[in-house]
């Protein structure tokens, strides 16, 4: 069965039979070391935002070379070479320092966002996602996209408060981040942070995915788990692989071979203003989900999702510039 991208299909688990070696992928330079994190924190004049981690600026090589594809086909047991086309070519990106949420945004956090207006009736049964970011209640626009369909009468189901919020659109995610004084991370920021300052193919290092490390198809839950259930990476970030796919700010586009600084495909971080409401192009998602295959846990793996689509395996976390 072909593992097609752009559909965000829930993949059947593919058991990794060979451990990815760091020798094949020395991708992150020493600028991502934990010692630099401590130095920047010490020098920073502002306190880190609550529940965020400082990610030091530096240089990273994103993507793979075309000659690397057979190696990764062997690692993940995938016969279709074209699955790796979107990770080509390898290229250099420079990033300024930034903050990233330790965990994906939870149902409880998103519920507080939907109830942020003091004049709301306490018995309101439908979740509100209206002004200040749009003049129209988005519930009238979702139709069969089932925004927040897992909530009951506009409320988070009991026991799911600390699970990552899903069934939200990219527009919802941008609006939430803006309300917090934050933004969505760029694709490059997301991957740089997922690496945790290391060279491994997964957020935890070289070891293949297994149910002790992340919530993916082999874990057998068939739904989300609480954030923070699994060990964080070296930057103190949870759920950078598995549990949910995570929206980034970037428009879905092929990689460029030229070196760039702080890139964001589409040319706008969408941290302020209402321009994001006009976005219709697919957005990059990263990280894999509870239904994902081992290849989806790979820090290089890219996929996309429509900005107005809401699905039970896609959520987000927020970022904030450090300067």
Which residue from 168, 176, 177, 187 is spatially nearest to 309, judged by alpha carbons?
168
CA atoms within 13 A on the CB side of 247: 36
Six-digit token string for 113: 């966002």
Q: What is the mean pLDDT of residues 142-162?
A: 81
Would the pTM of this model clear 0.85, i.e. be above it? Answer: no
Asked if 238 and 228 touch (Cβ cutoff 8 Å), the reply is: yes
What pLDDT does 1 receive? 33
Q: What is the mean pLDDT of residues 203-212?
A: 97
* Dist CA 217 CA 210 (whole Å): 10
Residue reference for tokens 């990059």: 284
Distance of CA 196 to the CA centre of its chain: 14
Q: Is the pLDDT of residue 29 over 80?
A: no
Q: What is the mean pLDDT of residues 7-36?
A: 39
Least confident of 23-27, 49-53, 84-88, 140-144: 23-27
For the chain, the structural domain boundaries read 22-105+171-321
Asked if 14 and 77 touch (Cβ cutoff 8 Å), the reply is: yes
What pLDDT does 270 receive? 79
* Cα dihedral across residues 286, 159, 175, 4: positive or negative: positive
Which residue from 295, 315, 322, 302 is spatially nearest to 238, judged by alpha carbons?
315
Six-digit token string for 319: 């970022």
Does domain 22-105+171-321 match CATH 3.40.50.620?
A: no
Q: Name the band, by pLDDT with cuts 50, 70 and 90, for residue 117.
A: low
């Amino acid at each position: 069965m072909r593992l097609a991208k752009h559909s965000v299909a829930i993949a059947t688990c593919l058991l990794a039979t060979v451990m990815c070696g760091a020798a094949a992928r020395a991708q992150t330079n020493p600028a991502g070391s934990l010692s630099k994190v401590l130095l920047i924190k010490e020098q920073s004049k502002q306190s880190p935002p609550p529940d965020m981690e400082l990610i030091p600026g530096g240089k990273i090589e994103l993507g793979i070379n075309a000659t690397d594809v057979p190696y990764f086909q062997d690692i993940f047991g995938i016969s279709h070479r074209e699955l790796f086309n979107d990770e080509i070519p390898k290229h250099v990106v420079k990033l300024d320092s930034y903050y990233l949420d330790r965990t994906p945004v939870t149902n409880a956090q998103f519920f507080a966002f939907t109830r942020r207006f003091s004049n709301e009736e306490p018995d309101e049964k439908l979740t509100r996602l209206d002004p200040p970011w749009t003049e129209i209640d988005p519930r009238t626009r979702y139709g069969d996209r089932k925004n927040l369909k897992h909530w009951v009468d506009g409320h988070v189901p009991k026991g799911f408060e600390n699970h990552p919020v899903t069934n939200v659109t990219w527009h919802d995610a941008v609006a939430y981040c803006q309300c917090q004084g934050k933004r969505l991370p760029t694709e490059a920021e997301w991957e740089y942070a997922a690496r945790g300052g290391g060279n491994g193919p997964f957020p935890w290092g070289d070891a293949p995915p297994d149910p002790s490390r992340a919530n993916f198809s082999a874990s057998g839950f068939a739904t989300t788990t609480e954030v923070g259930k699994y060990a964080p990476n070296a930057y103190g970030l949870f759920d950078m692989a598995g549990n949910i796919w995570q929206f980034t700010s970037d428009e879905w586009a092929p990689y460029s071979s030229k070196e760039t600084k702080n890139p964001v495909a589409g040319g706008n971080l969408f941290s302020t203003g209402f321009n994001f409401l006009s976005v219709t192009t697919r957005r990059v998602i990263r990280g894999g989900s509870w239904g994902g295959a081992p290849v989806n846990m790979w820090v290089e793996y890219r996929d996309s999702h429509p900005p107005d689509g809401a699905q039970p395996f896609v959520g987000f976390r927020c970022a904030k510039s450090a300067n």
